[in-house]
Structure formats: structure tokens, C-alpha cells
């Protein structure tokens, strides 16, 4: 059997494109894909993109307005854009093919990530195989209903970062999202760890890596790369 030389990371994007009943468009936040994606590539780590349903993943229109080098790089990166339009359905993926999974944020994740049994099963299998589970910003919504073989929530008793109540209030969406991410993470037994709004804050607890907000996305990618290199 050939020896696999490169590490492989699966980045999971939301399929959800509308902000509840408000009618506003949402999806995944682009820099939360591009920043860790290019960070991982710089360490010679291969990256695939998945979603719950597969197929095209919606980009939050607001994230295209950022003055960001990686956003501009994305718009000229036909290979990455093709991956966004042809994401792999998560229920077709083998955990043996990946060394880590990263759940990218964006408000769309609040509607579909917590409700996917396939997503929760995949993440639990990755973790129990001794691999890395990671998430950034609203991506930790994926962590809420992941249970391990012992029946415990994956995040119970672990330090976890994610989009804070203060940040949700700052963007005036606290009454639009279906739940408070910070409150729900705490309710599952997570030791919620936060910094000032809009500051880079990455938390590593064993093989669980989480970032607070878009400013933390590159740091999450670097933390994954650092773990996989050891």
C-alpha cells in the first residue's frame, strides 16, 4: 500500500443562504475560507471543500465587500472557486481520507450545521480516530450536537472559542439568528473562552481548535498546520 505523504484537511461550508425570515442573503464568510485555506496550502497541506448537501456553497455577499488580499486572490483563483461550486456532500466522505476537519463560519451555519447528523457523525469519527476537529466564528455551531462514543458531547469540559454575544450584538443580528452561539456552547458544557470583539483569538484544547471571529481564521489554519506537522 502506498504511503500517504501529504496531510489532508476537509473544510466544510454551509449550504444555507437566507437569514431566517429576514430575507437577507447569507452563507459562508469568505475570508473564513480563504485565510485558513491559503495558510494550509502554504504548509503543503491539501484541502478539499465539503458541505452538507454538496454542490454550490453560497458566499455571504457582505464578505465580498471586504478589502482583503485573500478575497481578491480567491476571485482570481479558478481552482478554489470551482471547489466552492462543487463541494462534496459530507455523507459521501471517508474519515480515513482526512487528518482534520475545519468548519468555516458565516451566519448560514447557524441554520444547517447543528441539525446535520451526517456532519456530527463525521466529526465524531474524525476526533475519535485521533485527528483534529476545528471551527471558526459561527462554525462552532457544528460542534453543538457532536457526541462521542461514551455519550458525552465533544465540547463538554473543553475550552472553546466562537462568535460572542457581544459580537452578535455589534452586527445587530442577535434577534435574527435562531440562537445564541455563545450560550448554546456553554449549555453543552464548553468552557467558552473569549477575547475583545474583533480580535484574533484562537483556542487549542488537545485536538480541538477553535477561533472566535473572522480575524481568527488565519490563526486557526496555522494552528491546524502546526498540529499536523508534529
Least-confidence region, from 19-23, 73-77, 98-102:
19-23
Q: Are 163 and 182 in contact (CB under 8 A)?
A: yes
Rounded to an integer, the average pLDDT of 76-100 is 96
pLDDT band at 23; cut points 50, 70, 90:
confident
| % of the chain exceeding 90 in pLDDT | 90
Check: pTM over 0.85? Answer yes or no: yes
> What is the Cα–Cα distance from 202 to 223, expressed in whole angstroms?
8
Domain spans of the chain? 8-228
Q: Please state the rounded mean pLDDT for residues 95-111.
A: 98
Tell whether the model's pLDDT for residue 21 goes beyond 80: no
Distances in whole angstroms, Cα of residue 188 to Cα of each of 27, 112, 128, 196 = 25, 18, 19, 23
Select from 1.10.10.10, 3.40.50.880, 3.40.50.150, 3.40.50.970 the CATH code of 8-228.
3.40.50.880
**Residues 105, 28: contact at Cβ < 8 Å?**
yes
The pLDDT score that the predictor gives to residue 4 is 57
**Cα separation, 230 vs 217, whole angstroms:** 21
Per-position DSSP letters for 112-132, written without gaps between them: HGGG-HHHHHHHHHHHHTT-E
User: pLDDT tens-digit profile of 162-186?
Assistant: 999 999 999 999 999 999 999 999 9
Amino acid at each position: 500500500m502506498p504511503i500517504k505523504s501529504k496531510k489532508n484537511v476537509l473544510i466544510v461550508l454551509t449550504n444555507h443562504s437566507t437569514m431566517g425570515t429576514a430575507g437577507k442573503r447569507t452563507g459562508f464568510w469568505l475570508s473564513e475560507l480563504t485565510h485558513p485555506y491559503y495558510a494550509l496550502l502554504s504548509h503543503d497541506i491539501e484541502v478539499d471543500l465539503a458541505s452538507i448537501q454538496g454542490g454550490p456553497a453560497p458566499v455571504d455577499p457582505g464578505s465580498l465587500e471586504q478589502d482583503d488580499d485573500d478575497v481578491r486572490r480567491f476571485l482570481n483563483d479558478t481552482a478554489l472557486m470551482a471547489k466552492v461550486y462543487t463541494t462534496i456532500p459530507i455523507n459521501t466522505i471517508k474519515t480515513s481520507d482526512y487528518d482534520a476537519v475545519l468548519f468555516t463560519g458565516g451566519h448560514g451555519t447557524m441554520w444547517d450545521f447543528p441539525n446535520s447528523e451526517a456532519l456530527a457523525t463525521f466529526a465524531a469519527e474524525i476526533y475519535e480516530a485521533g485527528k483534529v476537529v476545528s471551527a471558526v466564528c459561527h462554525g462552532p455551531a457544528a460542534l453543538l450536537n457532536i457526541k462521542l462514543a461514551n455519550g458525552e458531547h465533544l465540547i463538554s469540559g473543553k475550552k472553546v472559542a466562537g462568535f460572542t454575544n457581544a459580537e452578535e450584538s455589534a452586527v445587530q443580528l442577535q434577534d435574527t439568528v435562531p440562537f445564541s452561539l455563545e450560550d448554546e456552547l456553554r449549555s453543552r458544557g464548553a468552557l467558552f473562552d473569549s477575547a475583545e470583539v474583533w480580535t484574533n483569538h484562537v483556542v487549542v484544547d488537545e485536538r480541538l481548535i477553535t477561533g472566535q471571529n473572522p480575524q481568527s481564521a488565519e490563526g486557526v489554519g496555522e494552528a491546524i498546520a502546526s498540529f499536523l506537522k508534529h
